[in-house]
């Protein structure tokens, strides 16, 4: 399962730690959001969407905060900008 949130971060070459700091969350919570294990709190939905320059609906369900899953994509198809597979 891969979320659009993860794809956006990886495509920009950002670390979990950096991204969490940018929106004001701890790394563990951000990682869980990215994996679809935690919802995205309302305040952070907007901050995250603005950071990536996308509408909130591209990162999560606006009503529930559940991260949007990417169709036909698994963790083995997500690549780090350096070229090595990330899981």
Domain ranges, ordered by start, for the chain: 4-72
The model's pTM: 0.78
Closest CA to 80 of 30, 27, 7: 7
Q: Is 70 exceeded by the pLDDT of residue 80?
A: no
Under a CB-based contact definition with an 8 Å cutoff, are residues 48 and 65 in contact? no
Residue 86, pLDDT score: 47
Q: Is 50 exceeded by the pLDDT of residue 41?
A: yes
CATH topology of domain 4-72: 434 Repressor (Amino-terminal Domain) (1.10.260)
DSSP secondary structure of 7-75: HHHHHTT--HHHHHHHHT--HHHHHHHHTTSSPPPHHHHHHHHHHHTS-GGGTB-TTT-PBPBPTT--G
Q: Is 50 exceeded by the pLDDT of residue 48?
A: yes
Residue 71, pLDDT score: 73
Q: What is the mean pLDDT of residues 71-80?
A: 54
Q: What is the mean pLDDT of residues 72-83?
A: 51
């Amino acid at each position: 399962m891969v979320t659009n949130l993860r794809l956006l971060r990886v495509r920009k070459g950002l670390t979990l730690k950096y991204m969490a700091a940018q929106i004001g969350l701890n790394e563990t919570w951000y990682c869980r959001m990215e994996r679809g294990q935690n919802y995205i709190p309302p305040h952070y939905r907007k901050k995250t969407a603005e950071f990536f320059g996308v509408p909130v609906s591209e990162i999560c369900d606006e009503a529930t905060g559940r991260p949007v899953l990417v169709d036909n994509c698994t963790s083995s198809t997500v690549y780090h900008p350096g070229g090595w597979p990330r899981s």
